[in-house]
Chains A and B, each alone.
Chain A
Amino acid sequence: MKDKSEKYDFIIIGAGVTGLSASMYGARLGLKTLCLGYTHSSELSIGGVITTTNIVENYPGFIKLTGSELADAIEKHARSYELVSIKEQKVIDIEKKKNEFVVKTENDEYIGKTILFATGTKWRKLEVPGSLEYENKGVAYCALCDAPLFKNKIVGLVGGSDNAAKDALVLSEHAKKVYIIYRGENIRPEPINLKRVYDKVKSGKIEIINNANVKEVKGSKFIEKVILDREFNGSKELALQGLFIAIGHIALTDLAKKIGVNLDKKGEIILDHKTSETNLPGVFGAGDCADKPFKQAITGVAEGCTAAYSAYEYINKNNLTN
Chain B
Amino acid sequence: MKVVVYGTKSCVWCGKTRKFLKKYNIKFKDIDIEKSKSAEKKMIKISGQEGFPVINVNGKIILGYDEPKLRSVLNIK
A144 touches B10 (CB 8 A): yes
Q: Contact: B34 with A148, CB < 8 Å?
A: yes
Expressed in whole angstroms, the minimum distance between the Cβ of A273 and any Cβ of chain B is 30
A136 CB within 8 Å of chain B: yes
Do B8 and A148 touch across chains, with their CB atoms under 8 A apart? yes
Q: Are B50 and A142 in contact (CB under 8 A)?
A: no
Do A68 and B15 touch (CB < 8 A)?
yes
The A/B interface has a contact count, at CB < 8 Å, of: 61
* Residues of chain A from 67 to 99 with CB closer than 8 A to chain B in the complex: 67-68, 88
Q: Are B52 and A137 neighbours in the complex by a CB distance under 8 Å?
A: no
A41 to B66 alpha-carbon distance, docked (Å)? 6
Answer whether residue A298 sits at the interface, using C-beta atoms and an 8 A cutoff. Answer: no
Q: Decide if the interface of chain A is mainly helix, strand, loop or mixed.
A: mixed
- Contacts A40-B67, A138-B50 given; does A144 touch B12 at CB 8 Å: yes
By beta carbon, the residue of chain A nearest B69 is A40
Complex-state Cα separation, A69 to B40, whole angstroms: 27
Contacts A39-B16, A145-B11: A136 and B49 contacting too (C-beta < 8 A)?
Answer: yes
CA distance A151 to B68 in the complex (A): 32
Interface bin, chain A: 20 to 34
B3 within 8 A of A: no
- Give the shortest distance, in Å, between B71 (CB) and chain A (any CB): 11
B74 at the interface (CB under 8 A from A): no
Q: Give chain B nearest CB distance to A75 CB in angstroms.
A: 12
Q: How far is the CA of A138 from the CA of B8 in the complex (A)?
A: 17
Alpha-carbon separation in the docked complex, A142 to B10 (Å): 11
* Contact in complex: A137, B12 (CB < 8 Å): no
Q: Which of B50, B52, B65 contacts A40 (CB 8 A)?
A: B65
A positions within 8 Å CB-CB of B: 39-41, 45, 51-52, 54, 67-68, 88, 135-138, 140, 142, 144-149, 151, 222
Given A40-B68, A68-B15, A146-B50, 16 more A-B residue pairs with CB atoms under 8 Å apart are: A39-B20, A39-B65, A67-B12, A68-B12, A135-B51, A136-B49, A136-B51, A137-B50, A144-B12, A145-B11, A145-B12, A145-B14, A145-B52, A148-B10, A149-B33, A149-B52
